[in-house]
Structure 1
Amino acid sequence: CCGLVGLKPSRGRDMESPTAMLHIDIVCQGVVTRTVRDSANYYAAAEMYYANPKLPKIGWINAPLKKRLKIGLFTGTPTKMNSHSEVNETTLAAGKFCENLGHEVELIQNPFTQETKIDFLAYWSFVTYLLYRFGKTSYGIGFNNSKLEIFTVQMAKVYPKIMFSTAKSIRRLKKFTAYYDSLYEKYDVMLSPVLSHPVPEIGYFNPENNFFSSIEKLSQYVNYTTFQNVTGAPAISLPMGQCSNGLPLGVQFAGKLGDDRQLLELAWEIEASGGLIDWTKIIQG
């Protein structure tokens, strides 16, 4: 949504952080960049300092992907609702672009369910509760929970009301990884929107108005990226379109754990073939 390239790397790709002790570590380190080349170079350079022996190395990338991939494309949400028309059109156009490059693209139903999103929200509430109550343990005596965002505090305060169902949610989320991996027995990559609709105006998610309304809005907006957060699998956002107000629209290419290099090589090929929006023309226009 910001017109930049962003790779969420495989879980464990970066050096271990304090959040690694969580049941499901949803935090990762990385960069957003103007070009695919910059992202690829960052991760190759980072591996010179730390390379997780359990993951395939990314290495230096200086050429487009040679292998032709089978790509599963979906635009519907986990509730089977459609994304915004402009988001839908951009994602389908991205699929057509990949098809013209020689990749096999198959239009599919969203393979994920609303239950996983609900479980993730429950887990998110659990994590914010830990931060709110025990932040000083992780961040030192200078941590002050009164300085947290209103949304974080309200999210934390929801947790005691659902705490007895958290264990079941965590178990289901851990089992979800096996299902996610099974999808890649048929497809090399999944292509979807990044977000359900164009970027809203500032204040759209303001929790001061109505916290639960904000949660519902956020849940409907972030309909596609939750599943990589749960599994730790990599995904890359590429700016491949614009909405009618001139702001950029991103699409997401996702793979299974360890497939970071393949995603970067595919992104490199798309960029080299002119598939990303041209910021110079947008600015001049």
Structure 2
Amino acid sequence: MSENQQSLVHIEDGVLRIAVATAEHGTSLSPAGMEQGTAALRAAGPEIGAVLLVGEGSNFCAGGNVRGFAGAEDRGAHLLDIANLFHDFIREIDAIGVPVVAAVHGWAAGAGMSIVLHADVALAGPGTKMRAAYPSIGFSPDGGMSWTLPRIVGPARAREIIMTDAVINADEGVRLGLLSRLVADDEIGSEALRVARTLAHGPTQSYAAIRRLVAESDSRSLSDHLDAEAAAISAAATTPTGIEGVDSFVEKRRPDWAAARARS
């Protein structure tokens, strides 16, 4: 069955699972995964508490389908279509108000590395490797890599990583902040799912505010950002999530986040 004929999106226990690559075409970026994932993200309602990004194959995502690029009648038009499809997906990942977890195994190269840099939590194994990959085929980045990477490692290091097409091993990925933490290679999928499920059943309104504040921090002065934090924490105090969190603390009981979400 080709990837266009299979569902690459699944919803289970509050987690929206999206396969960004399959074994087809050498675990390159999946157009079907992008289309189905974008549609699912746009349609996500309150039943979705977290997003889990996975690769179905030997790698998380080894980049774009270079053989497909080579075979296109009009390479420029073909790449523009692929980039626009990919970027629709990235925009929805950025806009979703719930935590995004990536289960990274094998290679996360090119588009795969770009996707990892958008995850709130990126778990990987000791054998995971990352690589910009674009210069190796004479391309510049897509998927937001030239936007996210400088914000993580600084402009100078970002230029070096992309231009030299450096292979970044798992330990270095964690040290640089590209990956959150490492787990055993055979536990990446199960641990990422556990984290996604835990987040999906947590204080989702709080997570949405955290994502928004962190995303907007780079465009504000400290003083303006302090004002934004004050407004956000004040607003949180009157939401069902904030009320339940404070009340459960005072009453010395576990918070019932599901009940809080139901009241939202």
The TM-score range, normalised by the shorter chain, is under 0.3
TM superposition score normalised by structure 2: 0.27
> Larger % of helix: which?
2
